[in-house]
Amino acid sequence: MTRVGSNTIERLARLGFGARGAVYCIVGGLALLAAIGWGGSTGDSESAIRWVFLGPFGAILVGLIALGLFGFSLWRFVESITDADRHGTNAKGLAVRAAHFGSGIVAAGLGFTAASLALGLGRRASGGDGMQDWTAWLLARPFGPWLVGAIGLGIVAGGIAFLFKAAKGDVTDRLALDAAHCRWVKPLGQFGYGARGIAFLIIGGLVMVAAWYQASSEVKGLAGAFSTLRSQPYGSILLGIVAAGHLAFGIFGLIQARYRHIDAPDLDETDDAVMRAVRSLN
């Protein structure tokens, strides 16, 4: 078993994995309830945070989620720049690090949403779809459809990477767990990564359709991916499987919060680590 160190960035990273895991537990749990007809809803991460906010001690819990998401974002930035996870500087390693940097941006945006709720700055329901807004803005720019198409292709590539990771079965490589625990944690992680991969394929495909037709209304996030699944033949079953997978992904995130190997430079060492990483690319 791993120990929880005193490194500040490591502590924030662990809080971040836990916050992200909790959010996906709620996303998957609510969607699963919707699939089996027991209420629930097919929402995204922001919807899950708003659901927490409306419950007991909502502002406090959402504030903790915001702190965790900022911690996860910081870890993703530091990890991708300094190569703390040692992915390397070959094409594959740089692609993974770039994807992690992108996930840090997404986590930071979600963290700002959570923080605004906790501070009472965003209590009203969201007035629009953020993905549709930025897609509409981008489509209006020169070469906008090509840029939107490239983003959609990147999301699809991320989905394929998730599916490949699930099939390869190396999801527990960075966990400090013995073989007995990995025996049940590994399929849990594979199921979660597979579900995320399917969602990414749908989301990326819809973004590419938006680029083709130059219509931002075609863009849907995770909630749209759930709705797309539900509208298919045997949709409730498909939605139930993918929703359960997102719940599994959330539980796996909570396990990562405790047992993931995190070799992060501390705050006073980060500048030196960044400079070493930059020199290694030259």
pLDDT 10s digits, 118-158: 998 765 544 446 677 788 888 888 888 999 999 999 999 99
Q: Average pLDDT for residues 222-231, to the nearest whole number?
A: 90
Q: Which two tokens stand for residue 74?
A: 């910081």
Q: Which two tokens stand for residue 262?
A: 């995190």
Q: 111 and 244: one domain? A: yes
- Predicted pLDDT at 125: 46
Query: Is 233 part of any domain?
Result: no
Q: Average pLDDT for residues 6-24, to the nearest whole number?
A: 92
Residue with tokens 């995190």: 262
Q: Average pLDDT for residues 76-82, to the nearest whole number?
A: 92
Residues 6 or more apart in contact with residue 127 via CB below 8 angstroms: none
Q: 52 and 142: one domain? A: no
Give tens-digit pLDDT for 58-67: 999 999 999 9
Q: 47 and 181: one domain? A: no
Q: 166 and 208: one domain? A: yes
CB half-sphere exposure, 83, CA atoms < 13 A: 16
Rounded CA gap, 106 and 124, in Å?
21
- pLDDT over threshold 70, residue 274: no
The residue among 107, 95, 101 whose CA lies nearest residue 18 is 107
Q: 275 and 195: one domain? A: no
- Predicted pLDDT at 127: 45
- Predicted pLDDT at 154: 92
- Predicted pLDDT at 135: 85
Rounded CA gap, 227 and 268, in Å?
46
Q: 142 and 276: one domain? A: no
Q: 150 and 216: one domain? A: yes
Rounded CA gap, 40 and 166, in Å?
27
Q: 68 and 96: one domain? A: yes
Domain that holds residue 174: 130-220
